[in-house]
Amino acid sequence: MGGLEQHYVNEAFKTNWIAPLGPNVNGFESDIQEFIGGDKHVAALSSGTASIHLALELLGVSKDDEVLCQSFTFSASANPIIYLGATPVFIDSEPDTWNMSPELLEIAIQDRIEKYKKPKAIIAVHLYGMPYKANEINAISKKYDIPVIEDSAEALGSTYFGQACSTLSDLGILSFNGNKIITTSGGGALITGSKKLKDRAVFLSTQARDDAPHYEHSSIGYNYRLSNVLAGIGRGQMRVLDDRVAARRRNYEFYKSHLDDFDTISFLEEPQGVFCNRWITCINTPSFEMREHIRLTLLEDDIETRPLWKPMHLQPVFKDYLHFTNGVSEQLFYSGLCLPSGSNLTDSDLDRILKKLLKSLT
Ligand SMILES: *Cc1c(COP(=O)(O)O)cnc(C)c1O
């Protein structure tokens, strides 16, 4: 925590706003709005997953629809497609950003139009905080008139040609889960350029109560609004977001500068025009065996590292769904590794990790 969170939480208790509405919810939304810029409207919600669910709902996704989803991601990007009874179609990554391949996206769209019908939405992900190729993806979205949901759960603080991630497409989502760059313990947000869509998201997230003195419902609602207590944590966290990004980028620079001489280790580098929050520093190696050797060497000293996300098209739960693949995310899953990347790593933590990394590489 940064220090001011408790102040806003106490404020919620003092004023008795212990509810999914109140001054912290509104304040948190304006703080996010100000940070991301670009004339956007923000709805604070209970999680990133809930935000994706509502985004799909706002786009009218339902049974019989297909949604194109980046395969290399966390399962929460794809699960809400299933909640709505729709069908995911998974798209592999390109090697520059490890995110959705524009080529495969277009191939998939043409295939689905020819064999079934036009997909209803695209879910693209800025994985590990690295912006996807938004210019290319947006051009395809425009060409076929299919909206993009921008999963920015890991990318708050990243920018693409000066524009904040979560503001690059029709609908963006953020997550404030405990493992993200800032946290409310659990929380999320929906970002949209349309005031009407924001109001609709808030309406749906608070049980879809129509305007009447009694309880009147003409749509199915959700209980997805963020608590005013948790929004208080969020307001404090927004004050230290820039510091958190700086700390994560420092971790990356540290690992990169000390491992640069090893040809076998490669890093995910920022393409031109891109600023990455470096939520997690990831490396790629030539093989599963080498990755496992590094991982197990660090584990000897109780240093936990993790393989990269296992692609959705390789997950047992999604194995029967259509996918358009090129081997990129599968290779990353078998050979890549997430290094310790917390914002609170000290110099001596980093030195201790580096010692084991060097041992595993020599
Ligand atoms: C964390 C995460 C989510 C889900 O966010 P929650 O707030 O945990 O529900 C969705 N997509 C990605 C890529 C994530 O990392």
- Tens-place pLDDT, residues 142-154: 999 999 999 999 9
Closest CA to 12 of 29, 1, 24: 24
Determine the atom of ligand 1 nearest the C-alpha atom of 187.
7
Query: 18: buried, middle or exposed (CB in 10 Å: 19+, 13-18, 0-12)?
Result: exposed
CB contact set of 194 (below 8 Å; sequence gap of 6+): 41
Q: Which domains are present in the chain?
A: 5-238 (3.40.640.10), 242-361 (3.90.1150.10)
**Distance from Cα 360 to the centre of ligand 1, integer Å:** 32
The share of the chain scoring above pLDDT 70, in percent, equals 100
Strand order in the sheet with 163-164: 163-164, 159-160, 274-275
Say if CB 166 and CB 150 are below 8 A apart: yes
**Distance from Cα 180 to the centre of ligand 1, integer Å:** 8
**Mean pLDDT taken over the chain:** 97
Ligand 1 pocket mutation pick from 52, 72, 74, 180 by most atoms within 8 angstroms of CB? 74
Pairing type for strands 282-284 and 266-267 reads: antiparallel
* 38 pLDDT tier (thresholds 50, 70, 90): confident
Any atom of ligand 1 within 6 Å of the Cβ of 151: yes
DSSP letter at 206 equals B
pLDDT in tens, 314-349: 999 999 999 999 999 999 999 999 999 999 999 999
* 185 pLDDT tier (thresholds 50, 70, 90): very high
Q: How far is CA 348 from the centre of its chain?
A: 30
Determine the atom of ligand 1 nearest the C-alpha atom of 73.
13
Torsion of CA 28, 237, 181, 304, to 10 degrees: -140
User: In whole angstroms, what is the distance from residue 73 CA to residue 226 CA?
Assistant: 24
**Distance from Cα 152 to the centre of ligand 1, integer Å:** 8
